[in-house]
Amino acid sequence: MKHTLIPILTACGLISANANLFQYNVSFSDLGEANPSLGTGLGTVDYDNVLHTLSLSLNFSGLTGTTTASHIHAPTAVAGSGNAGVATTTPSFALFPLGVSSGSFANVLDLTQASSYNPSFITGHGGNTTQAEADLVESFAAGKAYWNIHSTFSPGGEIRGFLTAVPEPSSLGLLGLGAIGLATRTLSKRNARAATN
């Protein structure tokens, strides 16, 4: 088993090292917003570090007001809470449905283009899109970025959701292989002890 496990773990490690898609889920609510809302939403943000793109997808409903803007804020001082400035497109993502209380949205941002960012985010993060991208993605990984939907009811934001990393399949595979290896080793030691007693 030991001779088989090492090549499998090495192969899974290589798959993980070459991963180019980092996936995040976003669950929207009024948590962290100034005004209570029954609005909800579910979204995804997929970052491709080879193509330098963000693929955004969202379904939302139940807003008290009608939408006025939507974008990603980052970085907060503490993971999972707090406020931050707008990092992405201002005043709102292109094609985001405005003037509605429910809807769907999907778009792709090219992170090599300055138009994908708030100009002040670029200025505060190296003055170029390369550093802005690196800092934005770092805030995703650290849990310090949230996607916000602003409305007529709550101009500062009616609902938001922090980006939560989705474990990549190779990491889950490594975890499973590690558990199998640990279980096999424990059984082998028990059997060895039983044989000597």
Question: Over the stretch 156-165, which tens digit does the pLDDT of each residue have?
Answer: 999 999 999 9
Q: Is the pTM of this model over 0.85?
A: no
Q: Is the pLDDT of residue 195 over 90?
A: no
Q: Residue 88 pairs with which residues in a beta bridge?
A: 117
Local confidence band at 144 (pLDDT 50, 70, 90 cut-offs): very high
- Average pLDDT of span 69-80: 98
Taking all residues of the chain, what is their mean pLDDT, rounded to a whole number?
86
pLDDT 10s digits, 123-138: 999 999 999 999 999 9
Provide the pLDDT for residue 171: 45
